[in-house]
Amino acid sequence: MQTMDQRQELLRLPCGLRDLSGTENQALREVALSRVDEIQVEKKSLRKQIDELEALPEGELSRHAADVEVKQVVAQIMQMDRESNEHLLQEMDTLKAEADRQSQARTNIRRV
């Protein structure tokens, strides 16, 4: 059985991931891509620490998966990831539309 300290440590790490996800989301909106890269390295480090604290066989759930606090933090992380993905998709659509406009303008110029 895990002590309260172990549980707190396992909760602290996902909270760190949540905070980094929020920072990453903001960096994406500001198009601070070098900062996004740094944050992703930090997130990878936290994921590794989580794996080391509670090694799970492939496909098994953490014994803390039903914990209300853990569920809340994971839900917040997932929401921020969805928001980041939506933002990136919108940005990609905008860039694609701009590329299409420029391509059409080049075609029109060549015709003239």
Residue ranges covered by each domain of the chain: 4-111
Q: What is the pLDDT of residues 56-105, one digit of tens each?
A: 667 777 777 777 888 888 889 889 889 988 988 998 899 899 999 999 99
Retrieve residue 103's tokens: 């391509």
pLDDT of residue 111: 86
